[in-house]
Structure 1
Amino acid sequence: MARVYFRCDPFDKGAVTLALESGVDGVIVPRAQVEAVAGLSRCPVWAAEEVPAVALTVKADEEAVLERLRAGERVALARGWEVIPVENLLAQSDNVLAEAGSLEEARLAAGILERGVQGIVVLPEAVGELKAIVAQCKLSQGREELQEAVITRVEPVGLGHRVCADTLSLLKRGQGMLVGNSSAFTFLVHAETEHNEYVAARPFRVNAGAVHAYARLPHDKTCYLGELAAGQEVLIVGADGQTTVATLGRVKIEVRPMLLIEAEVRGPQGVQRGAVFLQNAETIRLTAPDGTPLSVVTLKPGDAVLCRTDEAGRHFGMRIQEEIREV
């Protein structure tokens, strides 16, 4: 996930305001405006004179940029850079900034070597695309490979502590969080986007499951639902696999009647089985392959839902290679 900076040189107050409202990570302005702009938002404000744009035209330019990065200087690759020299720099430095004058260029910079540059410096000519650049290059976490699983068991199991993840975002139909008993098999638990005659929709909320369950987070990490906290970023996943990041505004843990839901996926590697504990209520839903929310109250064996399969093995939420069995 790349950071997004807006270069506003020459200075334009309206453009800076738009950039800050669009959610950029920082702005670059002439030194004379740094102090005034710093008072507009709690984000980095760099002097343009201290973030020079450097063109990569020959191999020597690449080597010179690398030396400056290693020396702790902040430089940006001037618009017109090519992928191979940037790949060479990324292989040796984590502090590469690259200019972009369009959404397409920003996307390219964010995807080089599958991890992208550390920061995209958006130029004034792309100010009209800033919101899209932030959404696709800063918030998107790429695409999750979702699979179709078949429900094999739905059974009431008594009371348990369940976690509602209330985000700062309004989620859409087809979106939710990946949650499961094991990090190797997570279910797409749908956000509360649907109305019924008893309860209003709460599209900011994912009633995600029991406190012990794993939730998939940005950057290929997981955590227990019971560890979630306000201000933390969580991974939001759509039925099409597209992802975004949302910030938690509140986490509600309450005792509720629960259901045990089990499912399986059949593939070339054989059968994979997984389970999740969800609140026994009509408003809690899994997600059908077409994105339709499926209430756990009407869920039955044979129904198809979306899930994600992986290899088991996490330590403090980070992937590890270890023999592990979770049931």
Structure 2
Amino acid sequence: MKELWLHIKGDWKNEKKKVQAGIESGFVTFYVEEPELLKKITELAAVKTALESDDGADGDADIIVSRVKHKPENSRSCFHIEIKDKGDERKAVSMVKQVDYLLINTGKDIIPLENIISEAQGLCKVVAEIGDVRQAETVLKALEVGADGILYRPKNVDEVRDLFRVYHEFEAKKVDLVKATVTKIKPTGMGSRVCIDTCSMMHVGEGNLIGSQSNAFFLVHSESVKNPYVATRPFRVNAGPVHSYILLPDGRTKYLSELKAGDEVLVVDNTGKSRVAIVGRLKIEERPLLLVEANSDSRKISILLQNAETIRLVNEKGEPVSVAKLREGDRILVHLEEGGRHFGKKVKESITEK
């Protein structure tokens, strides 16, 4: 996930409204130059903060930003530099192995930003200052991978909300869903099943991407469909047994057993549109399981789910279909990838999971 930094500076009476709007919108980090503002912000909510401090004083900030080289004792480090020429660019690149963040201002120039991003990948995070909300998407897409975050000083509350809207639209990535044909449905016995209770309400058509293979995921529907058996739980996906993989917002996977409160999961709808939800809790219980196997483009894929009427996949029309009514020959929506996984991260390697 990209980081949003909101620059707060000046009269607190005016800035407080921007901070409150930022907190409500979900901004991750508030960047300040005055320690007094840092204290006022953290009194409003438990948020991440960055403090400009060239003397190396940590204060209570999570990140210490400095225009000189130093390593704070109790905070993460960030080197701040304005890129005016090639010499500034080289200086920024020289710091990528020495700090946690680079905060850079390249104005409207994209090439220096792309050069620094390419050098910093895997070494430190690059946060780019922007002077206009319209720059946000360009910066986040620079060199395809984009900057790791953006810093902006909004003129008013409306600009805070506008920036978050641009960010939300950028993060709502499209996931490629394809059709697979069900080839086998078989009850298998008991297992430890995981319900993912998120902090978001899901709609009909939405769910999580789950599978027994790390490169093949079934769209498992949320409990948002009315039924005569139990009340709906639109915040929940009954995802399957503990061994199953779930696809995360950053493209990695986790075993369902590894999820915990506060983790981010990817919510996907029947058109492939995605959003992020936070895990509130997991419910792991012993339940009867059902094996579903399917074929897509000659690939055999599988998933185990709880054997119950309220557990649903999504059919080729985008409609939720109960596993109790699922039949061989039915077409369902899945997401397929190439290669394998190493500790949840994609690798270009031939790995067989069956």
TM-score by length of 2: 0.81
User: Structure 2 matches for 1:139-288, cutoff 5 A?
Assistant: 140=171, 142-266=173-297, 271-288=298-315
**Are 2:164 and 1:131 equivalent residues in the alignment?**
yes
User: Structure 2 matches for 1:79-118, cutoff 5 A?
Assistant: 80-93=107-120, 94-101=124-131, 104-118=134-148
Letter in 1 for 2:7: R
Shift of the alpha carbon at 1:261? 0.9
**Are 2:2 and 1:2 equivalent residues in the alignment?**
yes
Match of 2:323 in 1: 296
Percent identity (aligned): 37
Shift of the alpha carbon at 1:184? 2.4
SS at match of 1:246: strand
Structure-2 change in CA distance of 1:60 and 1:219 (3 Å): same
Q: Distance in 1 between matches of 2:227 and 2:288?
A: 20
Match of 1:17 in 2: 20
Letter in 1 for 2:42: A
CA contact (8 A) 1:162 1:279 kept: yes
SS at match of 1:21: helix
Shift of the alpha carbon at 1:5? 0.8
User: Structure 2 matches for 1:15-94, cutoff 5 A?
Assistant: 15-31=18-34, 32-47=36-51, 50=65, 56-67=83-94, 72=99, 76-78=103-105, 80-93=107-120, 94=124
TM-score by length of 1: 0.87
CA contact (8 A) 1:153 1:263 kept: yes
Higher RCO, 1 or 2 (CA under 8 Å, sep at least 6)?
A: 1
Gaps of 5+ in 1: none
Q: Distance in 2 between matches of 1:122 and 1:249?
A: 30
Structure-2 change in CA distance of 1:101 and 1:243 (3 Å): farther
Shift of the alpha carbon at 1:61? 4.2
CA contact (8 A) 2:180 2:296 kept: yes
Letter in 1 for 2:127: L
Q: Distance in 2 between matches of 1:121 and 1:303?
A: 49
Letter in 2 for 1:127: V
Q: Distance in 1 between matches of 2:228 and 2:275?
A: 30
Structure-2 change in CA distance of 1:193 and 1:265 (3 Å): same
Structure-2 change in CA distance of 1:186 and 1:310 (3 Å): same
Shift of the alpha carbon at 1:297? 1.4
Shift of the alpha carbon at 1:143? 2.9
Q: Distance in 2 between matches of 1:120 and 1:317?
A: 27
Structure-2 change in CA distance of 1:89 and 1:60 (3 Å): same
Shift of the alpha carbon at 1:68? 6.0
**Matched residue count:** 321
